[in-house]
Copies of this chain bind each other. A is one copy, B any other.
């Protein structure tokens, strides 16, 4: 027994094993061999990070079929001491499973087939179900894993279950069909959240997340917020208004901007937002999941910022030629 063994890190995620969130966590190389802690909602996952029970939490932030995106955004907006350090995309694919030994033909042959499924998942598989098992009824399950568990343990009166693909790896089920969702391109976006840390070095394909309140509820305020980015040549990939909640008609905006806070133009824009907004939260700069290199007008490169500072310094000093 060695005390030299490095301490293992703990990652919280929306469990149980088999969820799309677990699939996102599986994309994190540093998480391999560490402790994975399944929790039942986003609030618990973030609370684990804030209190130090976990080192990081994987949460869905956009387009989730496992819910909680709004509350995730609101939590990141209001809970201090959090930082996004990575972004992960998981294709939203569904499989149909049954107890071991069942064939799809057996299922189709029944007069009526009871299909266990989370309502969102069920709705996304209606085309396939309508064509393949038109004589079915829906049995509501609370998640894309619980559908299979309930079918297996009998707590859900169903012969088959709609599940996330990861379920087949963790539980003893027969996969009857894969990729039965209507939208073949559906993707859920996840972020890995830690406590406050310095941003990792830029990769050239980064994004920066922040949340900013508008100073007042009038037509020009939102434009002025967005100009902080456009006047520095920065593209936004996410923009969402969220009601602040303290009063009707007051909004904060959740923003993903192309680039890294170590890029001069992003740092400059962040300072502009800070001056403009009564409340701004920096959520982090981190590599984009799609690894797409960020393009921007040449005149907004770091050199342009350095050159402009030198120019200003010279003219303030009254140097000849300035």
A interface residue numbers (CB < 8 A to B): 40-44, 62-64, 67-71, 80-81, 83, 118-120, 122-123, 126, 138, 140-143, 146, 155, 183, 185-187, 196-199, 215, 217-220, 222-224, 226-241, 243, 245-246, 248-249, 251, 253, 261-262, 267, 270-272, 274-276, 282, 290, 292, 299-300, 304-305, 307-309, 311-312, 315-322
29 examples of A-B residue contacts, CB within 8 angstroms: A40-B119, A41-B122, A41-B123, A64-B70, A69-B70, A71-B120, A83-B318, A140-B142, A183-B245, A196-B321, A198-B317, A215-B299, A218-B235, A219-B229, A219-B234, A220-B224, A224-B230, A226-B226, A227-B227, A236-B241, A237-B249, A239-B241, A240-B241, A271-B309, A271-B312, A274-B308, A274-B312, A275-B300, A282-B315
**Chain B residues whose CB sits within 8 angstroms of the CB of A220 once the complex forms:** 220, 224, 230
Partner of A70, one of B63, B223, B300: B63
Copy number in this complex?
A: 4
Instruction: Give A270 to B67 CA distance when docked, in angstroms.
Output: 32
Smallest CB separation, A144 vs chain B (Å): 12
Q: Decide yes or no: A245 and B70 within 8 Å by CB, A41-B120, A230-B224, A235-B218 being known contacts.
A: no
Partner of A43, one of B62, B70, B123, B238: B123
Inter-subunit contact A319/B230 (CB<8 Å): no
**Chain B residues whose CB sits within 8 angstroms of the CB of A275 once the complex forms:** 299-300, 304-305, 307-308
Inter-subunit contact B318/A196 (CB<8 Å): yes
Inter-subunit contact B237/A239 (CB<8 Å): no
Inter-subunit contact A239/B222 (CB<8 Å): yes
Partner of A81, one of B248, B272, B311, B320: B320
Inter-subunit contact A243/B119 (CB<8 Å): no
Instruction: Give A187 to B246 CA distance when docked, in angstroms.
Output: 11
Instruction: Give A42 to B282 CA distance when docked, in angstroms.
Output: 34
Inter-subunit contact B315/A261 (CB<8 Å): yes
Inter-subunit contact A262/B41 (CB<8 Å): no
Instruction: Give A218 to B322 CA distance when docked, in angstroms.
Output: 29
Partner of A227, one of B119, B138, B223, B238: B223
**Chain B residues whose CB sits within 8 angstroms of the CB of A276 once the complex forms:** 231, 299
Instruction: Give A108 to B318 CA distance when docked, in angstroms.
Output: 44
Inter-subunit contact B215/A226 (CB<8 Å): no
Inter-subunit contact A199/B262 (CB<8 Å): no
Smallest CB separation, A260 vs chain B (Å): 10
Inter-subunit contact B223/A235 (CB<8 Å): no
Across the interface, name the chain B residue whose C-beta is closest to A67: B67
Instruction: Give A40 to B275 CA distance when docked, in angstroms.
Output: 46
Across the interface, name the chain B residue whose C-beta is closest to A244: B185
**Chain B residues whose CB sits within 8 angstroms of the CB of A232 once the complex forms:** 272
Smallest CB separation, A237 vs chain B (Å): 6
Across the interface, name the chain B residue whose C-beta is closest to A248: B290
